[in-house]
């Protein structure tokens, strides 16, 4: 490639959209080419820099994703499940990298991404884009495999009070890792709600607790609790920019890759 990759950001006005735009414009490895918002949004037709309250960036916010994707080499997408599915179809038509940080996607919705990957999109999807969290995922799998059923597994996550999905995508990613380590399906052992007289904990269950409050960026604990001891693996995010930087790393990594479905473990060379 003779020039730096052009990037489109969907959900440009959102918390992560703004952060991505700031990180891209500060980078010398990529260019901000398009900013996408939903039809009818106040930002559509405005320069995205001005809309963010800063200097003009020469990129107008558009609601035409197909046209925007035709001008770039990658799209970074932290939006909502149904929007992400529509963007995946457009990314496949354009034959570009589609980095997906959208959370709250059901197993059925995730499965619907496969056709786009087969038809031309390089899809890099992860519940969390940070290096530390992906290392934590690997550690969770290894510890779960090493310990027997005497150790109860609980995943505790905390986020800001505006987060709309629970458990978080990262918590579910950690739950999947723990289940894989134990050789079971998370859907068969997941315990996501306790209220009232619930009875004793079912042996082998993987429990989830979601905390919402203030401006917490993201905290995740994986607790292995047995009689007499607890092992706690923990990751604390204090700056949302780390997710943006991970997504940008994924967008660069995907250049020249064959169409297909990948995750951050591929990007970071941790598969195997």
Q: What is the mean pLDDT of each run of 10 residues along the chain (272 residues)?
A: 86 96 97 98 98 98 98 98 98 98 92 98 93 93 97 98 92 96 97 92 97 96 98 95 94 98 92 68
Domain 131-237 has CATH 3.30.360.10: yes
* Segments of the chain assigned to CATH 3.30.360.10: 131-237
Q: What is the pLDDT of residue 194?
A: 87
**Beta strands, E only, the chain:** 6-10, 31-36, 61-62, 74-77, 97-100, 122-125, 152-159, 190-191, 206-212, 218-226, 229-237, 260-262
Q: Which two tokens stand for residue 181?
A: 């380590």
- What CA–CA distance (Å, rounded) separates 252 from 29? 8
- What CA–CA distance (Å, rounded) separates 14 from 272? 35
- Residue located via tokens 């899809």: 123
The residues annotated with a catalytic role in the active site are: 159, 163
Architecture of the structural domain at 6-125+240-267 = 3-Layer(aba) Sandwich (3.40)
Q: What is the pLDDT of residue 183?
A: 98
Q: What is the pLDDT of residue 92?
A: 98
Q: What is the pLDDT of residue 272?
A: 60
* Segments of the chain assigned to CATH 3.40.50.720: 6-125+240-267
Give the predicted TM-score (pTM) of the model.
Answer: 0.81
């Amino acid at each position: 490639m003779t020039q730096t990759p052009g990037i489109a950001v969907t959900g440009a006005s959102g918390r992560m959209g703004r952060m991505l735009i700031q990180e891209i414009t500060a980078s010398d490895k990529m260019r901000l080419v398009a900013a996408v918002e939903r039809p009818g949004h106040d930002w559509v037709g405005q320069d995205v820099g001005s809309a963010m309250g800063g200097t003009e960036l020469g990129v107008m916010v558009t609601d035409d994703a197909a046209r925007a994707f035709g001008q770039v080499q990658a799209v970074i997408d932290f939006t909502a499940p149904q929007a992400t599915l529509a963007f995946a179809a457009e990314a496949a038509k354009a034959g570009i990298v589609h980095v997906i940080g959208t959370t709250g996607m059901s197993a059925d919705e995730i499965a619907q991404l496969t056709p786009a990957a087969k038809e031309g999109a390089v899809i890099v999807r992860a519940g969390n884009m940070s290096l530390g969290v992906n290392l934590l995922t690997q550690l969770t799998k290894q510890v779960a495999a090493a310990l027997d059923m005497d150790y109860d597994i609980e995943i505790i996550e905390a986020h800001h009070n505006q987060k709309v999905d629970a458990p978080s995508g990262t918590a579910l990613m950690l739950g999947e890792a723990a289940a894989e380590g134990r050789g079971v399906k998370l859907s068969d052992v997941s315990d996501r709600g306790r209220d009232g007289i619930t009875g004793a904990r079912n042996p082998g269950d993987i429990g989830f607790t979601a905390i919402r409050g203030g401006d917490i960026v993201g905290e995740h604990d994986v607790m292995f609790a047995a009689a007499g001891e607890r092992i706690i693996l923990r990751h604390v995010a204090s700056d949302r920019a780390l997710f943006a930087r991970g997504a940008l790393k994924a967008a660069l990594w995907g250049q020249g890759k064959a169409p297909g479905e990948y995750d951050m473990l591929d990007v970071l060379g941790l598969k195997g």
